[in-house]
Amino acid sequence: MNLPGFILRNAFRNKRRLALSVSSVAVSLFLLITLQVALRELTNPINDEGSSLRIIVRNKVSLAQPLPVRQLQVLEKIPGVVAVTPFSFFGGLYKGDEKFTSFAQFAVDPARTLPLLADAKIPKAQLDAWIADRTACIVGQMTADRYGLKLGDRMQFTGQIYPCDLDLKVVGIYHGTADDRNLMFHQAYLDELLGNLGTVGTWWVRASSVAEAPLVTERINQAFANSSAEVRAESERAFVLGFVSMWANIKTLIGGISIVVVFALLLVTVSTMSMAIRERFRELAILKALGFRRRELFAFILAESFGLAMCGALLGAGGAWVMYHYLLNIQKLTNGLFIMFEVTPKMMGLAFSVAALLGVLAAIAPMVTVARTSVVQGLKTLD
Amino acid sequence: MALPLRYSLRNALVRWRSTVATVLGIALVVFVFVLLQSLAAGIEKSSGNTGDPRNLLVVRKGSTAESASLIGRQNLQDIRYLPEIARNAAGEPVISADVLVLVNLPRRLHNGEANVLLRGVTPRGMELRPQVHLVAGRWFVPGHREVVVSAKLARRFANFDLGSSFKSGSATLTVVGWLAGGGSAFDSECWLDADECRSLFERDMYSSFLIRPVDAAAAARLIDRIENDRRFKLKAEREVDYYRKQTMTAAPIKWLGNFLAVTMSVGAVFAAMNTMYAAVGARTREIGTLRVLGFRRRSVVLALLLEGGFLALLGGILGCAIAFYWNGYTTATMGMETFSEIVFEFRVTPRLVTEGLIFAVAVGLIGTALPAIRAARLPVIAALKAI
């Protein structure tokens, strides 16, 4: 029998324990990856060219404070601004949803919105229909799929922020943006329902180039400084990051907890793996008596423990990757809370490093004992 | 005959080296579960603790929160002199029309920004909320640009010290006092004069009315009247009922706690199983002896289950103890209803501790079941021969 064969035989000697140990490593690494993916998705918004070109302008007081519609003329004249549209978050409850509607509704000016929806794929005819009809709306493919919407359907919303209800007709379905969920309708329709207050929620601006975007942001902030409605302009990404920062301590807490989770499971795994070797002291003593060197015994122990950890990693991390990439529809499962749920190579690397570390750590305690125990003592050991 | 309880307990403790990791593992699982649930409990407790059962709160129909509600001025005139509303000593109706404004302000230590809820409140509104009292400084003077901030928020936001001021929109507000809400949702608010608030933030409309009806019967009549009057698109309910429902923020935290508990417990069950299989394996001869002595199979199973359950219980107690360290610790997040920073405390309630312990014992028992059955099935003679 050769050495790898010997190690393999040893590993498979107690099949039940092998299975239990490998599965607990797998479970912990699966959880590690899941938490990492979730945390990344919650704290790290999409970063593509479009999102750095688009700028959101809100009232400096807070997002809840409206902006006067007269700012439009000023915004349009600012150098580097390609397009501007009102962008009012309606935040309504879709008819049939109990407490919470998972997609946002925005009031915009359809004729001005096209440059801001550069990535969206939508037939020209549908766009024209939207622009032509004041009560028309377009919805993202994901929302359309989720609620089984088709062209011509009507959608009713109860206003939770605005004191009015919407009755909209679906005339277009778009796809191809980073988040195909949002519904867009006419600001003019909202104004009519509210009795023309002369305000909008925020402005949505497109800058001429990525390089120009920070300058445009600065110019917009300057343009309204010391006016009655001062603004805060920021890139779409910075805007979303601002939201993330409002989660405050919860974010840190969840990060901390994922460390505890992984630590807890690793602890348990280390103990079970060293148990497997402790049980074998008598044999190791015999090997020693036969003339095997200490470092050869170390190699046996390390190879077994390392191999076991790696099997767990393959199963857990690999399983997570396969599951989130191919098997599960996370969007559907989490009601649209998570869109991408992408397992990055970095996370896989992390999981495998943790497993490697675990394999080494689990081997240390038994190795120390083996080194310390004399052959006679080892032969005397009963369990 | 059953084995003495002491047999199980001493067995669990005698091989402490191999069991300590299992106990710790279970402790950490219980810790994560109890800690996350205590956050959710803290949020629920703070909103459940808010309001006076005699008060009615009126908001716009359809709005989920006071801060997202808008009520026209005409409605105040229509409701104000209804006979169901109590009068104070001066003969004025006890009704407060408040204005709520979300303001984006910087945190201390340049730690980003967050929304803070400003409440423009009237003298009646202050009388109707006896939970709120001043802990430092003085109250604002009507007509002055002064604000009294929550003492708990003051620790988190820059410029919230007494005497400092912050700019929002065209207004510069000076902090003249700190308020405390006695563990209620008011601990996450800053108060200023209602008229001042409306003029500073150009609010024509009110956000909510807080009313003290004459008595309970009048309250029921008033709710009926407001909800059924075609002129109003308003919703009236008891103030305590309104706040009790403001717990949307707790839901995802609860969900996460449960999710982690379930997934982690799978790993913990594997660990407990491994430990107990090893325990059974090491004691094969002993178990054979017990059987020869006349102990029944089910006694052996019971003794082992007790052993596993006891180990897990130790873990559970340890986990709860670690979680209890955070009990009462103040933390904050963004409220899902108000979109503003809400402060609350970790609340490790007796119920959570019980749940945590039950959960731990369940993990222990599930993990022990298979090894215990295996032990009971061992053929007596073979077991006695085992080394």
- Cross-chain residue pair B275–A270, CB shorter than 8 Å: no
* pTM reported for the whole predicted model: 0.83
Chain B residues touching A383 at Cβ < 8 A: 281-282
Indicate the pLDDT class of residue A1, thresholds 50, 70 and 90.
low
A191 and A156 assigned to the same domain: yes
Chain A residues touching B28 at Cβ < 8 A: 260-261, 263-264, 267
For B246, which residue in chain A has the nearest alpha carbon?
A99
Question: How far, in Å, CA of A262 to CA of B80, rounded?
Answer: 59
Write out the two tokens for A207.
């800058």
- Cross-chain residue pair B270–A228, CB shorter than 8 Å: no
User: B residues 121-160 near A, CB within 8 Å?
Assistant: none
- Cross-chain residue pair B248–A158, CB shorter than 8 Å: no
Taking the alpha carbons of A189, A195, A201, A205 in that order, is the dihedral positive or negative? positive
A113 and A220 assigned to the same domain: yes
pLDDT, greater one: B88 or A276: B88
Chain B residues touching A65 at Cβ < 8 A: 101-102, 169, 201
Chain A residues touching B112 at Cβ < 8 A: 242, 245-246
Report pLDDT for A339: 66
- What residues make up the domain containing A38? 3-45+248-380
User: Distance (Å) from the C-alpha of residue B131 to the closest C-alpha of chain A?
Assistant: 26
Query: Is there a contact between B356 and B30 (Cβ–Cβ < 8 Å)?
Result: yes
Report pLDDT for A337: 61
Q: Using a CB–CB cutoff of 8 Å, tell me whether B362 touches chain A.
A: no
Give the number of other CB atoms < 10 A from CB of residue A250. Answer: 19
Report pLDDT for A383: 47
> Nearest 5 degrees, angle CA A71-CA A77-CA A79?
125
Q: Using a CB–CB cutoff of 8 Å, tell me whether A315 touches chain B.
A: no
- Cross-chain residue pair A268–B331, CB shorter than 8 Å: no
Give the H or E element holding residue A3.
helix A3-11
A340 and A258 assigned to the same domain: yes
User: B residues 295-334 near A, CB within 8 Å?
Assistant: 331-334
Chain B residues touching A70 at Cβ < 8 A: none
Report pLDDT for A22: 86
A31 and A161 assigned to the same domain: no
At A292 the three-state DSSP class reads: coil
The answer to whether residue A240 is domain-embedded is no
Q: Using a CB–CB cutoff of 8 Å, tell me whether B4 touches chain A.
A: no
Indicate the pLDDT class of residue A169, thresholds 50, 70 and 90.
very high
- Cross-chain residue pair A64–B67, CB shorter than 8 Å: yes
User: Distance (Å) from the C-alpha of residue B62 to the closest C-alpha of chain A?
Assistant: 5
A141 and A253 assigned to the same domain: no
Q: Using a CB–CB cutoff of 8 Å, tell me whether B262 touches chain A.
A: no
- Cross-chain residue pair B114–A64, CB shorter than 8 Å: no
- Measure CB to CB from residue B267 to each of A28, A100, A246 and give the nearest one: A28
Interface mutation target, options B156, B264, B280, chain A, most CBs of A under 10 Å: B264
Cα–Cα distance list, A370 to A7, A163, A302, A367, B124 (Å) = 17, 76, 12, 5, 79
- Cross-chain residue pair A163–B62, CB shorter than 8 Å: yes
Taking the alpha carbons of A346, A352, A355, A356 in that order, is the dihedral positive or negative? negative
What mean pLDDT comes out for the span A16-41? 84
A290 and A188 assigned to the same domain: no
Please list the pLDDT of chain B residue by residue as tens digits (387 residues).
677 888 888 877 777 766 787 888 889 889 989 998 998 899 888 888 898 999 999 988 877 788 888 888 888 888 888 888 988 888 889 999 999 999 999 888 877 888 999 999 999 999 999 999 999 999 999 988 999 999 999 999 998 999 999 988 777 899 999 999 888 999 999 999 999 998 888 888 899 999 999 888 989 999 998 888 888 888 899 999 888 888 877 888 888 888 888 888 887 888 788 778 878 877 888 888 888 888 888 888 998 899 889 989 999 999 999 999 989 888 888 887 778 888 888 999 999 999 999 999 999 999 899 888 888 888 888 888 776
Residues whose CB falls within 8 Å of the CB of residue B216, separated by 6 or more in sequence, listed in order? B54
User: Distance (Å) from the C-alpha of residue A128 to the closest C-alpha of chain B?
Assistant: 33
Report pLDDT for A194: 86
- Cross-chain residue pair A163–B70, CB shorter than 8 Å: yes
- Cross-chain residue pair A272–B274, CB shorter than 8 Å: yes
Query: Is there a contact between A50 and A226 (Cβ–Cβ < 8 Å)?
Result: no
Indicate the pLDDT class of residue A334, thresholds 50, 70 and 90.
low
Q: Of the candidates A229, A258, A293, which is a domain's last residue?
A: A229
Phi, psi at B14, each rounded to 5°: -70, -35
Taking the alpha carbons of A371, A375, A377, A380 in that order, is the dihedral positive or negative? positive
- Cross-chain residue pair A17–B233, CB shorter than 8 Å: no
- Cross-chain residue pair B169–A65, CB shorter than 8 Å: yes
Chain A residues touching B201 at Cβ < 8 A: 61, 65
Report pLDDT for A95: 79
Q: Of the candidates A183, A200, A229, which is a domain's last residue?
A: A229
Q: Of the candidates A199, A229, A259, which is a domain's last residue?
A: A229
The answer to whether residue A51 is domain-embedded is no
A140 and A265 assigned to the same domain: no
Query: Is there a contact between B47 and B183 (Cβ–Cβ < 8 Å)?
Result: no
The answer to whether residue A371 is domain-embedded is yes
Chain A residues touching B271 at Cβ < 8 A: 24, 265, 268-269, 271-272
Q: Using a CB–CB cutoff of 8 Å, tell me whether B74 touches chain A.
A: no
Q: Between A and B, how many residue pairs show a Cβ–Cβ distance under 8 A?
A: 174
Question: How far, in Å, CA of A263 to CA of A164, rounded?
Answer: 51
pLDDT, greater one: A101 or B117: B117
Query: Is there a contact between A53 and A116 (Cβ–Cβ < 8 Å)?
Result: no
Chain A residues touching B279 at Cβ < 8 A: none
* Residue A98 pLDDT greater than 70, yes or no: no
Write out the two tokens for B260.
């982690």
8-state DSSP, B108: G
What amino acid occupies position A83? A
- Cross-chain residue pair A64–B101, CB shorter than 8 Å: yes
Question: How far, in Å, CA of A91 to CA of B62, rounded?
Answer: 11
Give the number of other CB atoms < 10 A from CB of residue B187. Answer: 25
- Counting the structural domains of chain A, the total is 2
Write out the two tokens for B214.
């004459």
A126 and A25 assigned to the same domain: no
Cα–Cα distance list, A350 to A117, A160, B263, B369 (Å) = 37, 43, 20, 35
A85 and A203 assigned to the same domain: yes
Helices (H) and strands (E) in chain A, counts: 16, 12
The answer to whether residue A321 is domain-embedded is yes
Q: Calculate what percentage of chain A has a pLDDT beyond 70.
A: 91
Most confident listed range (A192-201, A227-236, B141-150)? B141-150
A209 and A285 assigned to the same domain: no
Question: pLDDT for A32-88, tens place per residue?
Answer: 888 888 888 777 766 677 777 889 999 988 888 889 999 999 998 999 888 899 999
Residues whose CB falls within 8 Å of the CB of residue A224, separated by 6 or more in sequence, listed in order? A71, A74, A230, A231
A199 and A270 assigned to the same domain: no
Question: How far, in Å, CA of A120 to CA of A228, rounded?
Answer: 35
A104 and A219 assigned to the same domain: yes
* Residue A381 pLDDT greater than 70, yes or no: no
Report pLDDT for B323: 93
What ipTM describes this predicted complex? 0.78
